[in-house]
Amino acid sequence: MADTITTTVIGAYPKIGDELPLQALRRALHERDRDAIDQGALDAEFDRGTERAVREMDEAGVDVLNHGCIRWDDLFGPFVRGWRNVSRQALERWFDNNTYFRIPVVTGPIEVTGPATVREYEVARRATKRRVKGALCGPFTFARLAEDRHYRSRSALTLAVATALRAELDALAVAGCDLVDVEEPALARWPDDLTNGEARRVYEMLTEGARVSVALQLSMFPVDSAVRHLAELPVAQIGVDVRSRPTRVLERIELERQTLVLGAVDARNTKLETADEIARLVQAAARRVDISRIWLAPTTSLEYLPHDIARAKLRVLVEGARTALAAGGVR
């Protein structure tokens, strides 16, 4: 019997809102656009936003934190800025959400110019005594949504992105990071690369010899059609959304070694779950995966929610973990 159920977060935390601390970053961004402040002043505001996000996750009782992706304007932004021959152009809707991203445009071989996320990881790590993990975009999601003017092959582009992301993994390892989320909503939305073995091959290249464990986050869409292939992936953790859409994945999933990260609170719906609802999801999962290898998380980035709702979701997530543990996991 497990003596704890670990809670964590995925992706971006609310960075802008009506409360005074969340207005500071909005003001700084506007001032930077007008050249009223320099990049150093904006970076300092980003750091303060990261510290605030980490503090709030910590206060909610979440066990494993991230840096909140406060510097990110979308999933691809930090990497586009850190890679040569990649730019961003037209705005496009982010899947079926009321948010947008800028389409990455690849015009030549992707070349890494330096770490994209290490600074914010280091800021977060200094702000808490809890474990902090890193965050990356997924190579399949990047390649699926990018405009490719160079490789002319989604497979070749995916491998190129994975190679660049491996450099980021290594940089995070040097900084002391031991776990990194890789967000792959496109793999959940279009699971063919899970079923045909391409995801396994790419993630073997991404993770082989790495000093950082990888958590593959299959967010926002059910992965029922590919569930039997998840155990084949060379990653330490598999995250699945079991809350936001109908799914029977918990009736079929089998993971012999990986940790299952249950997306148990809906990060795109303001309705607040109850601790008992979360505990029931844990009980269902524990029939298929040992409870010692079950973590709890939101279904995706909490940035889709108002700030106060995001904080409430984290509190109920932690309460749900305690309720599930008190109930003994499996019923």
Model confidence pLDDT, tens digit, residues 31-40? 999 999 999 9
Decide if pLDDT at 244 tops 50: yes
Residue 85 lies in a domain: yes
CATH number (domain holding residue 181)? 3.20.20.210
> 3-state DSSP call for residue 92?
strand
Token pair belonging to 255 = 């993971």
Residue 205 lies in a domain: yes
The pLDDT value recorded for residue 20 is: 77
Residue 1 lies in a domain: no
Show Cβ contacts of residue 39 under 8 Å, excluding neighbours closer than 6 positions.
32
Residue 195 lies in a domain: yes
Residue 23 lies in a domain: yes
Across residues 214-221, what is the average pLDDT?
97
> 3-state DSSP call for residue 112?
strand
Decide if pLDDT at 331 tops 50: no
Residue 229 lies in a domain: yes
The pLDDT value recorded for residue 22 is: 79
Instruction: Write the pLDDT tens digit of every residue in 65-99.
Output: 999 999 999 999 999 999 999 999 999 999 999 89
Q: Give the structural domain span for 53.
A: 6-326
Residue 271 lies in a domain: yes
Q: Which of 261, 200, 319, 292 is nearest to 3 (CA)?
A: 292
- pLDDT bin (cut points 50, 70, 90) of residue 230 is very high
- Domain total of the chain: 1
Decide if pLDDT at 229 tops 80: yes
Decide if pLDDT at 258 tops 80: yes
Residue 331 lies in a domain: no
The pLDDT value recorded for residue 328 is: 76
